[in-house]
Structure 1
Amino acid sequence: MTVYDYDRRRTGVLLVDPLNDFLADEGKLWPRIAEVAREVDLRAHLPELVSTAREVDVPVFYVPHHRWTPGLYDSFSHPNPSQRSVDKHQLFAQDAFGGDWYPPLRPEPSDTVVVQHWAQSGFANTDLEMRLRQRGVDHVIVIGLLANTCIETTAKYAMELGFHVSLVTDATAAFSRELMRAAHELNGPTYAHVITDTKSVVAALTT
């Protein structure tokens, strides 16, 4: 895997959708990602990366999905397929277990929680870009869920805005191995500056 020499003063970790419905055993979507997540040891790697970033004063930005409430999408002219699924299954429900933070990944006071995103980009209709610019961050390490949707879209958007982008292949998951391959082997090389793994990122941030 690629080893990159990160300038910690200019680097931020984007932690996308670390919510119970994705990551907890009782989460509604955990059964769909569990096989891939276990293969890459996702639930160990995400806390490792976040704790390492905090230890070396690299800011962590929480990039959460919009929490579901009844009627949330009723006024939408063009809800996308993912939004229709969220509505049908009441995923990431506000003030409920599924929409709460996965306990090992709860934000700490030093972290930044950005405005909730509506679809698949953590930048569209949120304050993420402004928060990054205000911290002097122009290198982003994008981790979380899902590899082929919110991770890919957020990372592509970051690249379009001029950020240096790192993908971490074992700090994300998808509903199938095929979708993981598409995200990292087919699509990732067209926009990401670095495609790496947790071990390499931790080593780069701590040396």
Structure 2
Amino acid sequence: MGTRTVLESADISRALTRISHEIIEANRGVDGLVLVGIPTRGSFLAQRIAAIISRISGIDIPACSLDVTMYRDDLAHIPTRTPQRTDMPVAGIDEATVVLVDDVLYSGRTVRAALDALGDHGRPKAVRLAALIDRGHRELPIRADYIGKNLPSAKHERISVRLLEHDGIDEVTISSDAEGDEASA
């Protein structure tokens, strides 16, 4: 099969704009809204969504980062990963509506770890999930509230999200090879 591009820069931008509008609508505005990205690329996506929401609403929305590495239940089965920085709002997340943001939703294990990690930082009023790509194959009962693109795929396929801030290009690719980097899921 090789590698094929399924989203280009303009497609990613449109998806994030749509997700931003959906978040505002579901939240009935932006009051109490906090975006929390899961590193690495989820953090960049959270920053982009926060910027779009701020542009639409005229109100700055916090975009934070939450490392989930040590909360994972599959550490023995995944490659070693250096913990990333956690950066939460000074005011905390108690009674906030938190939108977790990740690049690819796959098994659900990263999101489960994020929910555990989030609990160590406060008690939000509600937690929602936004994912640029939902590829299916859930192992846990987790579903995204906001999805950029549903991309059904075989387990042997690789979904790679590359973002300008980290990779120098905006694109999402799918390939059948087993090679990939941390952007693959």
> Which is richer in helix?
1
Higher relative contact order (CA closer than 8 Å, sequence separation 6+): 1
TM-score clears 0.5: no
> Which is richer in strand?
2
Q: TM-score, normalising length from structure 1? A: 0.40
Q: TM-score, normalising length from structure 2? A: 0.44
